[in-house]
Amino acid sequence: MTEAQMVAALRAKGYLIREPELIRIGRINVPKPLMTPPPIGTPCWRVVIDDIPLADGLPWDGCEYDKIMLNRRILHLTKENAEAHAKALIKASGGTYE
């Protein structure tokens, strides 16, 4: 399920959905990463800039590694947001991701 489909389904059930907050990396606005721990079992995506895939999925289990990634502000709830974050970091440092 895409983020847009998820939002549409929640809105159909009567939930109020806010637009995502953004952060600026260089000249690019990207969705803000997680700032607080999600519930145990929540699917998360880690920003990756040192490998071919730009995002790596993991379920939040609250372990020390998860907390480190949260504190580094590189966890997102969607793969698309993590990839956008990775691309912005690479571009801001003068690199390319193609």
For the whole model, what pTM was predicted?
A: 0.80
Rg (CA), the chain: 14
pLDDT tens, position by position, 22-81? 999 999 999 999 999 999 999 999 999 999 999 999 999 999 999 999 999 999 999 999
Q: Give me the pLDDT at residue 19, please.
A: 79
> Cα separation of 23 and 42, whole Å?
22
Asked whether 31 and 22 are in contact (CB, 8 A), the reply is yes
DSSP state of 39: P
